[in-house]
Amino acid sequence: MADQVLTQHFGLENFYKIDEYVKKGGYEAVGKALQMKPEEILEEVKKANLRGRGGAGFPAGIKWGFVPKVDKPKYLCINADEGEPGTFKDRYIMSHNPHMLLEGIIITSFCVDIHTAFIYIRGEYEAIALRLEEAISGAYDKGFLGKNIMNSGFALDVFVHRGAGAYICGEETALLESLEGKRGNPRLKPPFPASVGLFQCPTVINNVETISNVPQIILNGADWFVKKGLPKDGGTRIFGVSGMVEKPGIYELPIGTSLKDIINKYAGGVKKGKKLKAVIPGGMSAPVLKADEIDIPMDFDSLVDAESMLGSAAIIVIDTGTSMLDVLKTVTKFYSHESCGQCTPCRIGTSWINKIVKRMIEGKGSKKDIDEIVRLASNILGNTLCPLGDAAAMPILSITKKFRKELESHL
* List of residues contacting other proteins (CB under 8 A): 73, 82-88, 90-91, 122-127, 157, 159, 161-167, 178-184, 199, 240-244, 248-250, 280, 284, 314, 316, 318-319, 322, 326-327, 330-331, 333-334, 337-338, 340
Q: Please report how close the Cβ of residue 124 comes to other proteins at its closest, in angstroms.
A: 6
CB-wise, 164 or 304, nearer to other proteins?
A: 164
The C-alpha atoms of residue 200 and residue 72 are separated, in whole angstroms, by 10
Q: How much of the chain is helix, strand and coil, in % rounded to 5?
A: 45, 15, 40
Contact 120, 169 (CB under 8 A): yes
Closest to 284 in 3D by CA, of 249, 250, 332? 332
Q: Please report how close the Cβ of residue 409 comes to other proteins at its closest, in angstroms.
A: 20
CB-wise, 42 or 360, nearer to other proteins?
A: 360
Q: Please report how close the Cβ of residue 3 comes to other proteins at its closest, in angstroms.
A: 19
Q: Please report how close the Cβ of residue 90 comes to other proteins at its closest, in angstroms.
A: 8
CB-wise, 33 or 279, nearer to other proteins?
A: 279
CB-wise, 195 or 322, nearer to other proteins?
A: 322
> What backbone phi and psi angles, to 5 degrees, belong to 59?
-60, 125
CB-wise, 181 or 231, nearer to other proteins?
A: 181
Contact 361, 250 (CB under 8 A): no
Question: In Å, how far are 67, 75, 159, 187, 204 from 194, measured between CA atoms?
Answer: 5, 9, 20, 13, 6
Q: Please report how close the Cβ of residue 125 comes to other proteins at its closest, in angstroms.
A: 7
CB-wise, 174 or 298, nearer to other proteins?
A: 174
Give just the sign of the alpha carbon dihedral 395, 397, 403, 408: positive
The C-alpha atoms of residue 383 and residue 387 are separated, in whole angstroms, by 9
Q: Please report how close the Cβ of residue 48 comes to other proteins at its closest, in angstroms.
A: 27
The C-alpha atoms of residue 357 and residue 216 are separated, in whole angstroms, by 47
> What backbone phi and psi angles, to 5 degrees, belong to 268?
75, 10
Using the 8-state DSSP alphabet, how is residue 149 labeled? G
CA 177 from chain centre, in angstroms, equals: 19
Region label for 14, one of left (φ > 0), alpha (ψ between -120 and 50) or beta (otherwise)? alpha
Q: Please report how close the Cβ of residue 318 comes to other proteins at its closest, in angstroms.
A: 7
CB-wise, 48 or 156, nearer to other proteins?
A: 156
Q: Please report how close the Cβ of residue 215 comes to other proteins at its closest, in angstroms.
A: 24
CB-wise, 250 or 357, nearer to other proteins?
A: 250
CB-wise, 179 or 196, nearer to other proteins?
A: 179
Contact 238, 259 (CB under 8 A): no
Using the 8-state DSSP alphabet, how is residue 347 labeled? H
> Beta-strand (E) ranges in 177-248?
203-207, 236-243
Q: Please report how close the Cβ of residue 107 comes to other proteins at its closest, in angstroms.
A: 22
Q: How many CB atoms lie within 10 A of CB 86?
A: 22
